[in-house]
Amino acid sequence: MTAPAYPQAAKKYEKKMVRFLREMVAIPSESAEEGEVIGRIRREMESTGAFDRIWTDKLGNLLGHVGKPGKGKKLIAIDAHVDTVGVGARSEWKHDPYKGKIADGKVWGRGAGDQEGAIPAMVYGARIMRDLKLDLSEYSLLMSFTVMEEDCDGLCWQYIINEDKIRPDVVVVTDSTNCQILRGQRGRMEIGVTCLGKSCHGSMPHKGDNAIYKVAKIACEIEKLNERLRSDPFLGKATITVSYVDCKTPSLCAVPGQAYLHLDRRLTTGDTKQSAVAEVKKVVRRAGVKAKVEVQRYARPSYTGLVYETEKYYPTWCADEEDLQVQAAIKAHRDILGKAPTVHRWTFSTNGVSIAGMFGIPCVGFGPAPENVAHTVNDSVPIEHLVKCAAFYSGYGQAYCDLAQGRPNGTSMTVKRKKG
């Protein structure tokens, strides 16, 4: 099999991939509301005839096998989350967020870039494997279309590993990479800070103890803390910010007796759950107030109705560039797409926080669309990225097995890997 065969085969499915993506974009699929889009993806998978098995687990993740798992065979997974964030103010969108508009060589709409654009490339990457009659004697491929990532990064993979009892040898995470290879990300956690005061009538505030004034002092100290956090030369600087403020008050004419700050904490190398909580507690003491500081928990029912509770702590992870899964991605990029790739890291968070961060399963990132369109009114994906990613996904498994078995020049790709 020559390397050009992969992109040539992928190009044949460009129109089908674009149509499929537009139809997904037209289906609202925010976290815990993905049932309809999961059904649409399943129908497309079935129509290709490429999958040996397709099923949905109790959390609602859609899974498909290409080839049959067996003793001694590698299990290689490729993952995309199917949920999106909301659209916000529709008036800010140039194109209808639920139309999948084609313009300027891109598909536009909520989820097009983050990250439903990877899904057609995965589904038709499986079809390309069948078209090219790839040898699946050394590995099988698991395609996972996962839920609730936007709400709770990696919860889906906690379920897949702990409950479905599936543990791949390697996972390609397809969250937006702009067709670059990414090998790590900062972690994150959500911390709640609650202050208690004393409520009273708003006409005589001196008789109460305003809890909002207490959290305001803490918020100012959080802003200062952000400037003091450590930095990593590769993953970047740790950050912390107040992302939500709330209070409890008997009326709008009363002093609030309780107030709450929600903190978004991004973790870099050297940060731990314990150290991040300790920093916030120190800030509270510096503000001169009393407060309860705790890591938040997630317990929202999935679209199937299942509640799979977890702590909102998502560990940092980073692979070395010489690691097998990264080198296999570099090899696949060079051999299939014909050029040396950029290797970098994500700014935002992905399902890798569970796969690699919690469970230590090797991960590497490769997906369509740049990060900077995610969660914006410019959510979009270049159509050419669908073709590139389909070609890459169809050939990654063989590239991985070639390197794992000490075949740097490969058995199915005749373009030799360049030095450098």
Q: What is the pLDDT of residues 383-410, one digit of tens each?
A: 999 999 999 999 999 999 999 999 887 6
- Predicted TM-score of the model (pTM): 0.93
pLDDT of residue 179: 97
Q: What average pLDDT score do residues 69-74 get? A: 92
> Phi then psi for 265, rounded to 5 degrees?
-115, 120
> Phi then psi for 384, rounded to 5 degrees?
-65, -25
pLDDT of residue 13: 98
Same-domain check for residues 11 and 49 = yes
233 belongs to a structural domain:
yes
Q: Mind listing the pLDDT tens digit for each residue in 169-212?
A: 999 999 999 999 999 999 999 999 999 999 999 999 999 999 99
Q: Mind listing the pLDDT tens digit for each residue in 357-390?
A: 999 999 999 999 999 999 999 999 999 999 999 9
pLDDT of residue 409: 79
pLDDT above 50 for 412: no
Same-domain check for residues 160 and 234 = no
| Cα first-last separation, the chain | 25
Top pLDDT among 67 and 3 is at 67
pLDDT above 70 for 420: no
Task: Mention every residue, 6+ apart, whose C-beta is less than 8 A from residue 89.
Answer: none
Same-domain check for residues 333 and 290 = no
Same-domain check for residues 94 and 158 = yes
Check whether the bond before 296 is cis (ω within 30° of 0).
Answer: no
pLDDT of residue 271: 97
Taking the C-alpha atoms of residue 33 and residue 27, their distance in angstroms, rounded to an integer, is 10
Same-domain check for residues 192 and 160 = no
Taking the C-alpha atoms of residue 382 and residue 178, their distance in angstroms, rounded to an integer, is 9
Sign of CA dihedral 281, 287, 288, 291: negative
Q: Which of 57, 83, 138, 371 is catalytic?
A: 83
pLDDT band with cut points at 50, 70 and 90 for residue 1: low
pLDDT above 50 for 311: yes
Task: Mention every residue, 6+ apart, whose C-beta is less than 8 A from residue 113.
Answer: 176, 368, 369, 370, 373, 374, 379, 380, 381
Same-domain check for residues 202 and 110 = no
pLDDT band with cut points at 50, 70 and 90 for residue 413: very low
CATH number of 255's domain: 3.30.70.360
Sign of CA dihedral 274, 276, 281, 286: positive
CB-CB contact of 75 with 161 (8 Å): no
Same-domain check for residues 262 and 341 = no
Q: Mind listing the pLDDT tens digit for each residue in 42-68?
A: 999 999 999 999 999 999 999 999 999
Q: Mind listing the pLDDT tens digit for each residue in 231-278?
A: 999 999 999 999 999 999 999 999 999 999 999 999 999 999 999 999
Same-domain check for residues 350 and 267 = no
Q: Mind listing the pLDDT tens digit for each residue in 313-355?
A: 999 999 999 999 999 999 999 999 998 899 999 999 999 999 9
pLDDT of residue 351: 97
pLDDT band with cut points at 50, 70 and 90 for residue 280: very high
pLDDT of residue 411: 52
Q: What is the pairing mode between strands 170-173 and 74-81?
A: parallel
CA distances, 337 to each of 32, 393, 395 (Å): 36, 11, 10
415 belongs to a structural domain:
no
Residue 379 is a catalytic residue: no
Provide the residue range defining the domain that includes 270. 187-298
Q: How many Cα atoms within 13 Å fall on the side-chain side of residue 132?
A: 27
CATH number of 357's domain: 3.40.630.10
414 belongs to a structural domain:
no
Number of domains in the chain: 2
Same-domain check for residues 40 and 158 = yes
Same-domain check for residues 222 and 328 = no
CB-CB contact of 401 with 138 (8 Å): yes
pLDDT of residue 2: 59
Top pLDDT among 106 and 72 is at 106
CA distances, 316 to each of 2, 124, 406 (Å): 38, 31, 30
* Amino acid at residue number 129: M
Check whether the bond before 115 is cis (ω within 30° of 0).
Answer: yes
Q: Which of 149, 221, 271, 379 is catalytic?
A: 149
303 belongs to a structural domain:
no
Nearest CA-CA partner of 169 in 66, 56, 69, 317: 69
Query: pLDDT averaged over the chain?
Result: 95
CB-CB contact of 150 with 375 (8 Å): no
Residue 83 is a catalytic residue: yes
Taking the C-alpha atoms of residue 305 and residue 344, their distance in angstroms, rounded to an integer, is 38
pLDDT band with cut points at 50, 70 and 90 for residue 217: very high
pLDDT above 70 for 105: yes
Taking the C-alpha atoms of residue 365 and residue 368, their distance in angstroms, rounded to an integer, is 10
